[in-house]
A and B are shown apart, each in its own frame.
Chain A
Amino acid sequence: MSRWFTGLADAWQYGYTDFGEGRGRSPQPVLRAVVGVAAPGAPSRFAAIIDTGGPITVVAAEVLGSGGDPVDRGETMMLRLGGATNEVPLYDLTLEVRPPADVVDATPIRWRGIVAVLEPWPHHGTAVILGQSGFLDTFTVTFGPDGFALEPASVFRRRFPPANN
């Protein structure tokens, strides 16, 4: 279970990212929901794709070396990713998401959660895929036609209270 470290006064709104991967191969651009994610205080951040169908956050092995106090949980899981199946180790890792470029004076939001570590990394475009465990249990993510927004996980139940049965 991830832990939410700081508050978020307003929803952070992001535009989608076109890495160019669909050019000449797809009738429309392939748009990704990408946020900047880093180990706390690290100078550079990783482009991280939000994958709502992913059961867990997956990172390249090199991400662990950038900080975030990685702790090996001594557990593994079978991960099917990009058509390949791998047994991958699980770590506890602290990450922070950076605000959109047009949001000034905002503090990155830090959380600690479980990530799967995949090596070698097979993907284009990113070294981090943000899945259900380790990201979507920490944030409410709203996808719109021309952008997406991040809010704390608690926002969802305030907006959509459980129905009385």
Chain B
Amino acid sequence: MVGVQTGRWHGSPDCGTPTKYAALMVRTLDLAPWAGRWVAVDAANDVRCDAPSLAQLLDALALVDVGDVEVMRAPAPGEPVVYGLG
């Protein structure tokens, strides 16, 4: 007999407990104060430098040594969530 999948994992011990999202390993960033700006984030998830454009941020990083940082754009409120290519 074949059970009906309703979007949740059922009964079998092999299934274990479903993990809805990665509570333990998620790197959660709070970039709301920089919404829409490009930011350089350090290993502690602190914003070390920010600029309105990627080019300006890279120029600033070339002038000031802020150590090991990762460059990204802070999401702006009201902009759609983008799911990548498609």
Query: CA A14 – CA B25 in complex, angstroms?
Result: 8
| Total CB contacts across the A-B interface at under 8 A | 129
Chain A at the B interface: SS class: loop
Cβ contact within 8 Å between A58 and B58: no
Partner-binding segment picked from A4-12, A122-130, A157-165: A122-130
Which of B21, B28, B72, B75 is within 8 Å of A46, CB to CB?
B72
Number of interface residues of A (CB under 8 A): 50
Which of A19, A79, A80, A82 is within 8 Å of B72, CB to CB?
A19
Nearest A residue to B38 via CB reads A127
Contact residues on B (Cβ < 8 Å of other chain), bracket: 35 or more
Cβ contact within 8 Å between B32 and A20: yes
Cβ contact within 8 Å between A21 and B81: yes
Residues of A within 8 A of B19 (CB): 145-146
Check if A74 is an interface residue, CB within 8 A of chain B.
Answer: no
1/0 contact trace for A93-130 toward B, CB 8 Å?
A: 00000000100000000000000000001111111010
Cβ contact within 8 Å between A20 and B31: yes
Residue of B28, B43, B70 with most partner-chain A CB within 10 A: B70
Q: Taking beta carbons and an 8 Å cutoff, which residues of B are in contact with A? A: 18-32, 40-41, 43, 54-55, 58, 61, 65, 68-77, 79, 81-82, 84-86
